[in-house]
Chains A and B, each alone.
Chain A
Amino acid sequence: MSRSVAGEISLLRMALGHPAFVVGFALSALFVALALLSFVWTPYDPTKLAIADKLQVPSLAHWFGTDHFGRDMFSMIMVGARVSIAVAFVAVGIGIGLGVPLGLYAAARRGSLVDEIIMRGNDLVFAFPSLLLAIMITAVFGPGAINAIIAIGIFNVPVFARLARGAALALWTRDFILAARVAGKGKVRISAEHILPNIANLLIVQGTIQFSLAILAEAALAYVGLGAQPPLPSWGRMLADAQTLISLAPHMALFPGFAIIVTVLGLNLMGDGLRDLFDPKLRRGRS
């Protein structure tokens, strides 16, 4: 299902006219830009301790102030954005990469034993409290960014498997799928060539939401000390560090807290916007 060039342009125009999407996209893009910039430039070395400069309030020299070791908070937020985004990106990637094929396969073999096994297995993972699962994984395999990615990735799998299966099931009854079957295409090919492109919109919207949840999960894991390990800065650990100093240096909690809120808000707004834009019924209603 390829969209015409005119269709692309009208979608872009509508996107620009959708305030939630524009705001969400701008906020998300801001943090992606900060994260990318941190690879080449940060105001200070975020891992360099300068005990003499500790707990400084925001100033021209240190825009977001310094933490209890005298590290520049703005530099740490920038590198922390990189960590958060990288963890969330890979984790959601794992969710899509494993969940979507599982869901599509289950839909193709609907009603069979394989379908049951896949979906009940997913239910099992889904029913397990996700953060507890993540803590369990990092506790067994040791804390670190990689294990945090795996842990968050695993509980993204059933989300995408369910979504893909549900959406694919509806499509399997449609005439154009029937036509493809009559033409002799196999189930795997139909899933890849006809089903997947038609559920891509849904997956993108869900992916955006999951992305924001993954950032929250990463912050939560880092907060309890199971995420990215020092010296790598991480928003969650910055919050944990700030906890006992909150009455002495509130800026230490405010900035990483805001960074998490703004990023998650941005991604959620963008997800909402994308859902509106991709929904044919809404699109028709608007135009």
Chain B
Amino acid sequence: MTGKSIAAAAISLLALSVAFVPAPAFAARTDASIGMQLEPPNLDPTGGAAAAIDEVVYANLFEGLTRFGSDGAVLPALAESWDISEDGLVYTFHLHTGVKFHDGSAFDAEDVKFSLDRARADESTNAQKALFADIASVEVVDPATVKVTLSKPNGSFLFNMAWGDAVIVAPETAADNASKPVGTGPFSFGQWVKGDRVELERNPDYWGEPVKLEKVTFKFISDPTAAFAAMMAGDLDAYPAFPAPENLSQFAADPRFEVIIGSTEGETILAMNNKKPPLDNIKVRQAIAHAIDRQAIIDGALFGYGTPIGTHFAPHNPAYVDLTAQSAYDPEQSKALLAEAGVSDLTLSLKLPPPSYARRGGEIIAAQLREVGINTEITNVEWAQWLEDVFKGKNFDLTIVSHTEPMDIGIYARDDYYFQYGDPDFKAIMADLANATDPDKRTELLQAAQKKIADDYVNAYLFQLARAGVANAKLKGLWTNSPTPANDMTGVYWEE
């Protein structure tokens, strides 16, 4: 095993030496290799929760009625435009015409009806069924017009339709999308070499503006050392969410690369099992929150890339309230709270999934908790094990995870969600929010929701994950921010 790290060192040295060889001039390239940390379990965004699925297919392969732009704005996609009725209940979408699926079949309103009905059906395996919960009916008016009627007004309906889980699929091919995805996007599926890469090819019949790249390869390199070496050697052209923030300074110093720092929707939290004693006691949860020094975690685990948060909300969102002071680092108060709760000799399990923010952050948090007298038993788990044991089995005390879905504060209203909060008052706020269409009212409710979960110390809110990526300096058009898990390649091109 020491041999492995020596080999890694040798590779890094080799890679460094390559840096001094001048690169020969190339004509503008039309292919790009993108590094990703996790391999998607399948390629069907309507049938899986994994962010890695959307990171391959979102906007590239599949499209929805609407879509997210790089800044998080909701833009038209397959729907050219839409009309909303006065009461906010009826959305009439005017679809683009001449759109074809990759298998050659035509896209029309029937496909929209099929996709939405399929996603909201009882037997649907969609990971975000709540997005479709308010749809009462979907009607085909004519092949280019579809009318969606809601059971109650929903201010975020167009936003919901932009999610990767709401993409439009064809009835003939929907069942095979997991391994042979067929969408309407500017890229079509090439091949998937399991454990290595997914290749996408330019769709010559794309209805919209043609893309510049002819071929995009997503390579799955989870090992940070290997990722560093692959970037340095030019095997990868970009790694939008680079797994080793410690290497970014080296990339920044190298003119061949550009370091891209943006924001993500990743609220990174120390999740607590709210139903498991003694964590069912708010004082204990508050004590844990006060024991944590967020800045130390950001500096130590992420080399400074991250923004402290005090609630489960993205700081770049206009409705964000800064509540970090409410759970400020205060070990003395933490000890006092533990004494008040009558808890001593506390040992909690801390299960850490693979990303370095969790593994390194976990070690720092363990040390910080030790300072106030809480012992932790750290277990490193793989993602599959985390999903099974923590997310589904709820067999944990503490865990660190980044919630990367946009506007996902609604998860706190779910009874069966892994941290088991499901407070009735919070659910009431979320119910009001779902009915509210007035922007000011919505902001007010979102802020109330943020305060509620901060007051209840549901979880310890750590930081907003930064999107720290690296790309070849000549590769332009990559997303800076990450409003949804995606590697949108539609606007990417090589500078001559």
Which chain A residues border B137 with CB–CB below 8 Å?
A: none
B296/A49 in contact, CB under 8 A: yes
Selecting from A90-98, A157-165, A182-190, A229-237, the interface stretch reads A229-237
Across the A-B interface, the 4 shortest Cβ-Cβ residue pairs: A220-B1, A51-B300, A223-B1, A244-B224
Hey, which bits of chain A sit against chain B, CB under 8 A? 47-49, 51-52, 54, 68-70, 142-143, 216, 219-220, 223-225, 229-231, 236, 239-240, 242-248, 250, 253, 257, 260-261
B364/A253 in contact, CB under 8 A: no
B380/A225 in contact, CB under 8 A: yes
CB distance from A137 to the nearest CB of B (A): 16
B370/A231 in contact, CB under 8 A: yes
Which chain A residues border B360 with CB–CB below 8 Å?
A: 68-69
Residue of B nearest to A142 (CB): B379
On whether A253 and B5 interact (CB within 8 A), knowing A68-B360, A69-B364, the answer reads yes
| A229, B225: Cα distance in complex, Å | 22
A68/B378 in contact, CB under 8 A: no
On whether A51 and B366 interact (CB within 8 A), knowing A244-B228, A248-B246, the answer reads no
B250/A247 in contact, CB under 8 A: yes
- Output the residue of A54, A244, A248 with the most chain B CB within 10 A: A244
Which chain A residues border B250 with CB–CB below 8 Å?
A: 247-248
Residue of B nearest to A69 (CB): B300
| B492 contacts A by Cβ under 8 Å | no
Selecting from B8-16, B314-322, B392-400, the interface stretch reads B8-16
B9/A253 in contact, CB under 8 A: yes
On whether A69 and B380 interact (CB within 8 A), knowing A243-B8, A246-B8, the answer reads no
A49/B225 in contact, CB under 8 A: no
| A257, B8: Cα distance in complex, Å | 13
| A257, B249: Cα distance in complex, Å | 25
On whether A49 and B246 interact (CB within 8 A), knowing A143-B380, A244-B225, A257-B2, the answer reads no
| B363 contacts A by Cβ under 8 Å | yes
Which chain A residues border B363 with CB–CB below 8 Å?
A: 49, 69, 230-231
Which chain B residues border A70 with CB–CB below 8 Å?
A: 300
| A9, B150: Cα distance in complex, Å | 97
| B430 contacts A by Cβ under 8 Å | no
Within 8 A of A (CB), among B110-139: none
Within 8 A of A (CB), among B367-386: 367-368, 370, 377-380
Which chain A residues border B8 with CB–CB below 8 Å?
A: 243, 246
Which chain A residues border B12 with CB–CB below 8 Å?
A: 246-247
On whether A246 and B1 interact (CB within 8 A), knowing A51-B299, A69-B364, the answer reads no
A49/B379 in contact, CB under 8 A: no
Which chain B residues border A250 with CB–CB below 8 Å?
A: 9
Hey, which bits of chain B sit against chain A, CB under 8 A? 1-2, 4-6, 8-9, 12-13, 16, 224-225, 228, 244, 246-247, 249-250, 296, 299-300, 356, 360, 363-364, 366-368, 370, 377-380
CB distance from B396 to the nearest CB of A (A): 14
A224/B1 in contact, CB under 8 A: yes
B225/A242 in contact, CB under 8 A: no
CB distance from B436 to the nearest CB of A (A): 42
- Output the residue of B2, B8, B368 with the most chain A CB within 10 A: B2
Which chain A residues border B6 with CB–CB below 8 Å?
A: 257
Which chain A residues border B379 with CB–CB below 8 Å?
A: 142-143, 229
Partner pick for B378 among A51, A229, A243, A247, CB 8 A cutoff: A229
Which chain A residues border B370 with CB–CB below 8 Å?
A: 47, 231
Which chain B residues border A52 with CB–CB below 8 Å?
A: 299
Residue of A nearest to B356 (CB): A244
CB distance from A238 to the nearest CB of B (A): 10
Partner pick for A239 among B2, B13, B249, B364, CB 8 A cutoff: B2
A selection of 10 A-B contacts at a CB cut-off of 8 Å is: A49-B296, A49-B300, A68-B246, A69-B363, A223-B1, A231-B366, A231-B367, A236-B1, A243-B225, A247-B247
B2/A230 in contact, CB under 8 A: no
CB distance from B367 to the nearest CB of A (A): 5
Which chain A residues border B249 with CB–CB below 8 Å?
A: 248
Residue of B nearest to A261 (CB): B2
CB distance from B384 to the nearest CB of A (A): 13
A243/B296 in contact, CB under 8 A: no
CB distance from A21 to the nearest CB of B (A): 25
On whether A246 and B5 interact (CB within 8 A), knowing A51-B300, A230-B378, the answer reads yes
Which chain A residues border B378 with CB–CB below 8 Å?
A: 229-230
A54/B300 in contact, CB under 8 A: yes
| A112, B225: Cα distance in complex, Å | 54
Residue of B nearest to A264 (CB): B2
| A51, B364: Cα distance in complex, Å | 9
On whether A48 and B1 interact (CB within 8 A), knowing A244-B246, A247-B250, the answer reads no
CB distance from B378 to the nearest CB of A (A): 5
Which chain A residues border B366 with CB–CB below 8 Å?
A: 230-231
CB distance from A138 to the nearest CB of B (A): 11
CB distance from B364 to the nearest CB of A (A): 6
CB distance from A99 to the nearest CB of B (A): 25
CB distance from A253 to the nearest CB of B (A): 6
CB distance from B355 to the nearest CB of A (A): 12
CB distance from A236 to the nearest CB of B (A): 7
Residue of B nearest to A220 (CB): B1
Which chain A residues border B368 with CB–CB below 8 Å?
A: 49
Which chain B residues border A247 with CB–CB below 8 Å?
A: 12-13, 16, 228, 247, 250
Other contacts beyond A229-B377, A244-B356, A248-B249: 7, CB < 8 A: A49-B300, A142-B379, A216-B2, A223-B1, A224-B1, A231-B366, A257-B6
